[in-house]
Amino acid sequence: MVGIRCPSRAIMEEQRMRDENESHFLEPKTLSAIVMVAVVFFGWQYYLGKKYPDYYKPKPLVQPFSGDQKAANPVESSAQKSEDARKAGANGHSGLQGSTVEAKGKSLSPSAPNVGGEAATGMIPEQHFHFENQLFSFDLSSLGNSIRNLTLKDYVDRDKSLIRFGTDDSGPLFSILLNGDEPAPFDLRQTSENSFEGLAKSRGGDIRSQMRIDPQTGKMEGEISVEPTDSFKDLTVVLAEKMMKPGSSSLFMPAVDKQEFIVKEDGKMERQPATGKDQISQGFHRASVVAIGSQYFVSAFVDHSDLIPSAHVETRDGKMLASVVYRPVTRGQPMKMKFVTYTGGKSLERLEAIDPELSEIVNLGFFGAIGKILLQVLRWAHSVVGNWGWAIIILTLLVRALVLPFNVASYRSMKKMQAIQPMLQSLRERYKDDPAALNRESMILMREQKVNPLGGCLPMLLQMPVFFALYQVLGQSIELYQAPFIGWIHDLSLKDPLYILPVLMGAVMFLQQKSTPTTMDPAQAKVLQWMPVIFSFFMLSLPSGLTLYIFVSTLFSVVQQRLFMRDRTKTLAVLDVKAQRVN
């Protein structure tokens, strides 16, 4: 081991400049690296989608449905036929809340339109019921056991209108079809305030249905049993919803309230965005969860039967249609299906209470486990302050305090590395012609000085999962839907209407750059000067709740950096005094 002299004053001055430019998490350099990685990743995905369009098109139906061509697409005409049959039936009276009144009207005879698959065996009038509780209201028809006009009471739309599912534009939200495309003609009755039973007799067999509604969560539990005849082919449960008008989107301008199909096949959750630009028609062999969802709301079906169904999703005529198909293993074999349905807000807490399978519908990304913890903390903060905006600020400060030890560890590791830089420079000069010896002696020196060369990087890497988890939580949480903050921010799930937060974010980053001396190449410095503008542009269309988090986190980073810089200045002053004494 060679002897190393104490560093001179000139070296200390050089070290001071190097020290002032050490980067920290959420500094412009680090943030620019994150943005560049995101741009490259999403840009590459976009390029592949354009270069190989056939590969990224939805897969064709993997298992043809039994029966004729209509059965291959069981939702093709079911909504229209159900509507026609409903009009052919009687216009019955609606029951009061918690009660029903059976409709009295025209009978459906063999000479009437073909309703109830293979035609009903008897004269069955269509019945109408109206159900209402503190969560929602809906109309129930005996024709296909269909649910229409489900209206939520907890939320309103962006334009403050009521949120409805299963309107005339989309057809029934929920319906039961026989042999592919015919609504089953049930004889319904209300057995209690929150339950219904029905019996449908057709040439395909006898079908019994039960539906129980949980008034606390909105969960609907269904049970269907079939005593089939030889002509029975399948039973299909259909979900339908109207497509939203496609909004323009890009990497920096994501669309709001995107719609998608969600299917869980063989334990893997598949998501198929429905943009309205391309027609979708995709089949699944073994589906346990089928849903039609937007960013904050969902209509979902969860199977709990011994008989595993197949599924098919498609878009047609401005509608999103999802079918769950049950077939007997052998002809004439009795079938029994159990399932859970839910329509409402994508509250993770409520979805987990209804069915654990539904919790995966909320897309918290790769770091979902961390995201769930952060969401719990966010709810706790809201219970304390009563405002979701202040809750985000509290959550941000708690997260930054949590990762502060990692930042301190990174700072200490970098300070140790800085202290041995003069020694490393001497080794470089001594072994400039022998790289192997230089590496060996450098490792020996760092081992003796207890310096980890990766000590400054690992803490930053450990913080990345928290950053991305928070990004997903604040972008997906229905808790922020139409939640006001202060002043001009009336909805934390929408972008800042006056763009004040993005501008403040850019100003903070600009001041941070000006207060940090730099010795980098002038060309690189000019590029870095544009980072505040790029980040402000990136945040223009982000939800204001997410923008608030990024702004507060960056402000915290600036204060943290100034404190670290003050401590470093004192340390370098001590080393400078020692160097002067030696010289």
- The verdict on domain 69-104+112-244+258-363 having CATH code 3.90.230.10 is no
What element of type H or E holds 291? strand 287-293
Angle subtended at Cα 167 by Cα 166 and Cα 171, rounded to the nearest 5 degrees? 65
Q: Which amino acid is at 177?
A: L
Residue found under tokens 């922020």: 480
Express each pLDDT in 259-278 by its tens digit: 999 999 998 999 999 887 78
Mean pLDDT confidence for 426-441 = 86
Among the ranges given (96-100, 384-388, 575-579), the one the predictor scored with the smallest mean pLDDT: 96-100
Backbone angles phi, psi at 292, to 5 degrees: -115, 120
Express each pLDDT in 323-361 by its tens digit: 999 998 888 889 999 999 999 999 999 999 999 999 999
Confidence (pLDDT) at 352 = 93
CA dist., res. 322 & res. 324, Å (int): 7
Confidence (pLDDT) at 379 = 95
Mean pLDDT confidence for 2-23 = 47
Confidence (pLDDT) at 41 = 58
Q: 3-state DSSP call for residue 241?
A: strand
- Strands 281-284 vs 195-202: parallel, antiparallel or unpaired: unpaired
Q: Do 312 and 180 meet the contact criterion of CB atoms below 8 Å apart?
A: no
Q: Which range is most confident: 19-28, 155-164, 170-179, 210-219?
A: 210-219
Among the ranges given (13-27, 35-49, 80-94, 565-579), the one the predictor scored with the smallest mean pLDDT: 80-94
Confidence (pLDDT) at 426 = 86
Q: Sheet of 268-273: strands edge to edge?
A: 186-192, 195-202, 205-213, 220-228, 335-345, 297-303, 287-293, 260-265, 268-273
Q: Do 210 and 196 meet the contact criterion of CB atoms below 8 Å apart?
A: yes
Place 528 in a pLDDT band, splitting at 50, 70 and 90: confident
CA dist., res. 321 & res. 171, Å (int): 10
Residue 506 has pLDDT above 80, yes or no: yes
Place 516 in a pLDDT band, splitting at 50, 70 and 90: low
What is the four-CA torsion angle of 5, 10, 11, 15, rounded to 10 degrees?
A: 150
Mean pLDDT confidence for 248-259 = 56
CA dist., res. 476 & res. 400, Å (int): 21
Q: Who wins on pLDDT, 76 or 264?
A: 264
- Listed in sequence order, the residues at least 6 apart from 314 whose beta carbon sits closer than 8 Å to its beta carbon are 73, 75, 279, 280, 281, 282, 321
Tell me which residue of 163, 161, 160, 169 sits closest to 151, measured CA to CA.
163
The DSSP output letter for 315 is: E
Among the ranges given (99-108, 185-194, 214-223, 377-386), the one the predictor scored with the smallest mean pLDDT: 99-108
Q: Who wins on pLDDT, 138 or 465?
A: 138
The DSSP output letter for 5 is: P
Mean of the per-residue pLDDT values of the chain = 77
Tell me how many helices (H) and strands (E) the chain has: 15, 19
Residue 54 has pLDDT above 50, yes or no: no
Express each pLDDT in 304-325 by its tens digit: 999 999 999 999 888 999 999 9
Confidence (pLDDT) at 215 = 93
Q: Who wins on pLDDT, 495 or 451?
A: 495
Residue found under tokens 């041995």: 420
Q: Which amino acid is at 408?
A: V
Domain with CATH 2.70.98.90 in the chain: 69-104+112-244+258-363
Q: Do 422 and 4 meet the contact criterion of CB atoms below 8 Å apart?
A: yes
Place 38 in a pLDDT band, splitting at 50, 70 and 90: low
Mean pLDDT confidence for 60-87 = 41
Express each pLDDT in 135-148 by its tens digit: 999 999 999 999 99
Confidence (pLDDT) at 414 = 76
Using only C-alpha atoms, the chain has a radius of gyration, in whole angstroms, of 32
Confidence (pLDDT) at 104 = 33
Mean pLDDT confidence for 13-25 = 48
Query: For residue 170, what are its two tokens?
Result: 């989309």
Residue 402 has pLDDT above 90, yes or no: no
Residue 298 has pLDDT above 80, yes or no: yes
Cα→Cα distances 543→367, 480, 490, 547, Å: 20, 9, 11, 6
Place 76 in a pLDDT band, splitting at 50, 70 and 90: very low
**Percentage with pLDDT > 70 across the chain:** 70
Among the ranges given (150-154, 435-439, 557-561, 570-574), the one the predictor scored with the smallest mean pLDDT: 570-574
CA dist., res. 223 & res. 165, Å (int): 22
Q: Do 343 and 218 meet the contact criterion of CB atoms below 8 Å apart?
A: yes
CB neighbours of residue 79 within 10 Å: 25
Mean pLDDT confidence for 377-386 = 96
For the chain, the 3-state helix, strand and coil shares in percent, each to the nearest 5, are 40, 25, 35
CA dist., res. 312 & res. 110, Å (int): 31
CA dist., res. 284 & res. 62, Å (int): 6
Q: Do 194 and 218 meet the contact criterion of CB atoms below 8 Å apart?
A: no
Handedness of CA 425, 426, 429, 432 (dihedral sign): negative
Express each pLDDT in 77-124 by its tens digit: 444 444 444 444 333 333 333 333 333 333 332 223 333 334 344 457
Handedness of CA 439, 445, 450, 451 (dihedral sign): negative
